[in-house]
Structure 1
Amino acid sequence: MKNELLTIGPLTVYGYGAMIALGVIAAWVVTELRAKKLRLSSDHVFALALWGLLGGLLCAKLLYWITEWKSIMADPGFILDTLSDGFVVYGGILGGILAGWIYCKNKKVNFWKYFDLVMPSVALAQGFGRIGCLLAGCCYGKETDSIFAITFHESEFAPNNVPLIPTEIYSSVLDFAHFALLLFIASRKKKDGQVAACYLIFYSIGRFILEFFRGDLIRGSVGVLSTSQFISLFTGAVGIIILILRSKKSNA
């Protein structure tokens, strides 16, 4: 795979950035369409998208630096060197949710309705984002002898000329399937908050399993678990708790 898709003069279009942009646009369109159907405010959707994006980027970067604390201790300049790359998805998810909660609290709008509205679109955006990972060669899998492998030749991240488990492809497929499943659940939910809870549960399970096949484990670990697996235990538990509690509450 090649991350540099197109070069026009001094401008270079990178696959990772292009897929992130495409994912954000797709998520925006889907969220707007569903908001109209559910008669939710388009103004709040725009504001939540902006708050979520900013909060997500900030926390994704902060969590990356936390996992790379040894590199920062050895060379504080590592922070400036990684301003434009190096993000942790879980940080983006949690940061986006926190920013959305703060916005809804400040504007006195129903957080759970908009939480349910947004999360299927988050899964959709993640599906495109993982295609970007494939183009860049990041988030790569372990070496494998299986016929289901991918070999990079020009990646700045993954080992080149080595057959690897295509974890980026598996992640993307799971994210798109997750999106479809959440839309199905949303069409049949009984209480606000159930869709968002299911997102946390399903994503945590999928991420926990996929981590066993990832080869880029320099991202840190907690005991025998990777950092993302450790976080998955908590986000999955939170999802279960939300599902139980919200199922008992009235829509208010």
Structure 2
Amino acid sequence: MLALAFLTGWHLTQHFVAKDKVTDKNTSANAMKVAIITAILGARIMYFVVNPEHLNSIADFFAFSRGGMVAYGGFIAATFSTIAYLKWRKVHVWRFGDAVAPALAIGTAITRVGCLLFGCDYGAISDLPWALSFPKGSPSFQHHFSEGLISADATASLPVHPTQIYESLYALLIFAILLWLRKIMQTSAPKISTKPRGYVFLTFVALYAFFRFLNEIIRADTGRGSLGPFSTSQFIAILTIGLAIWGFKAFKSPQNNR
């Protein structure tokens, strides 16, 4: 599913970059390559930063079949590396961000389906009608067994919040909102040179961070790390929302619209 997410995001980004006349196709493609590679590395590195006990050899780092990726780590790494590349190529960062934002949303939706199929990133035990049980051997099953909540002969975990589905559906909602915003912007500011820069990208950042903070409350998977009362992702979400608020003010400046 990760490959499908990257492939879908690639085509969406190329479409919107061309439509918005941000840069040429080759530069856009290279920027996406930088983003994809650093996203994978960043997500993996963040996982081992939070869970250093799981890294016993270099082989563990490349054992992707075991799972172990932190989305925010990938997002942070991809953002900074792509910005550096775009600056080097003299491409307007905010405009590229607006073009790539819908791809980030749809990519998140697809990736979380993969998390659902793998059984990671599960939620707390729940008796809600839509709560899901994962099969024997899944991360949630192993967690519940280690806590003594189920016996060794159980065939599935206890029912839990399908937090993967929650995030996937919310990402689809964000995707729809971003498309609507793009349409509104094109209607109110038909000339590319007069469009506000960064609004679409920052909207994605703020909305995703807000939901991620809430979703973390009912997440129960182990190895997410914590900083005080917050999980690692909640702490990053708080910082991200703050940066988004700053960005909303910054993108309105005349310098940003050049």
Q: TM-score, normalised by structure 2?
A: 0.84
Asked if 1:147 corresponds to 2:139, the answer is: no
Shift of the alpha carbon at 1:155?
A: 4.5
Give the Cα–Cα distance (whole angstroms) in 2 for the partners of residues 37 and 204 of structure 1.
Answer: 27
Instruction: Report the equivalent of 2:59.
Output: 80
Q: Which has the higher strand share?
A: 1
Q: For the Cα contact (< 8 Å) 1:142–1:215, is it kept in 2?
A: yes
Give the Cα–Cα distance (whole angstroms) in 1 for the partners of residues 167 and 75 of structure 2.
Answer: 15
Instruction: Report the equivalent of 1:20.
Output: 2
Shift of the alpha carbon at 1:187?
A: 2.6
The amino acid of 2:39's aligned partner reads G
Give the Cα–Cα distance (whole angstroms) in 1 for the partners of residues 5 and 130 of structure 2.
Answer: 26
Give the Cα–Cα distance (whole angstroms) in 2 for the partners of residues 142 and 238 of structure 1.
Answer: 30
Give the alignment's Cα RMSD to 1 decimal. 1.6
Shift of the alpha carbon at 1:111?
A: 1.1
Instruction: Report the equivalent of 1:95.
Output: 77
Within 5 A, what are the aligned runs for 1:184-195?
A: 184-189=180-185, 190-195=195-200
Shift of the alpha carbon at 1:79?
A: 5.3
Give the Cα–Cα distance (whole angstroms) in 1 for the partners of residues 172 and 206 of structure 2.
Answer: 16
Give the Cα–Cα distance (whole angstroms) in 2 for the partners of residues 233 and 92 of structure 1.
Answer: 17
Instruction: Report the equivalent of 2:239.
Output: 234
Instruction: Find the partner of 1:218 among 220, 223, 231.
Output: 223
The amino acid of 1:30's aligned partner reads L
Identity fraction in percent: 30
Instruction: Report the equivalent of 2:179.
Output: 183
SS where residue 123 of structure 2 aligns? coil
Q: Any unmatched runs of 5+ in structure 2?
A: 142-155, 186-194
Give the Cα–Cα distance (whole angstroms) in 2 for the partners of residues 32 and 187 of structure 1.
Answer: 18
Q: For the Cα contact (< 8 Å) 2:12–2:100, is it kept in 1?
A: no
Instruction: Report the equivalent of 1:125.
Output: 107
Asked if 1:32 corresponds to 2:32, the answer is: no
Give the Cα–Cα distance (whole angstroms) in 1 for the partners of residues 58 and 171 of structure 2.
Answer: 30
The amino acid of 1:61's aligned partner reads R
Q: For the Cα contact (< 8 Å) 2:86–2:93, is it kept in 1?
A: yes
Q: TM-score, normalised by structure 1?
A: 0.86
Write out the 4+ residue segments of structure 1 that deviate beyond 6 Å after TM superposition. none
Q: For the Cα contact (< 8 Å) 1:217–1:226, is it kept in 2?
A: no
Instruction: Report the equivalent of 1:53.
Output: 36
Instruction: Report the equivalent of 2:257.
Output: 251
Give the length in aligned residue pairs. 230
Instruction: Report the equivalent of 1:10.
Output: none
Give the Cα–Cα distance (whole angstroms) in 1 for the partners of residues 70 and 204 of structure 2.
Answer: 18
Instruction: Report the equivalent of 1:5.
Output: none
Q: For the Cα contact (< 8 Å) 1:55–1:98, is it kept in 2?
A: no
Instruction: Report the equivalent of 2:26.
Output: 43
Q: Residue deviations 1:104-151, cap 9 Å, x none?
A: 111111111111111210111110000000000000001111112011
The amino acid of 2:85's aligned partner reads Y
Shift of the alpha carbon at 1:193?
A: 1.0
SS where residue 86 of structure 1 aligns? coil
Give the Cα–Cα distance (whole angstroms) in 2 for the partners of residues 109 and 39 of structure 1.
Answer: 11
Shift of the alpha carbon at 1:35?
A: 2.1
Within 5 A, what are the aligned runs for 1:57-72?
A: 57-69=40-52, 71=53
The amino acid of 2:47's aligned partner reads Y
Q: Residue deviations 1:181-237, cap 9 Å, x none?
A: 112222334411111111111111000000011011421111111110011000111
The amino acid of 1:185's aligned partner reads L
Cα gap change, 1:247/1:217 in structure 2, threshold over 3 Å: closer, same or farther? farther
SS where residue 214 of structure 1 aligns? coil
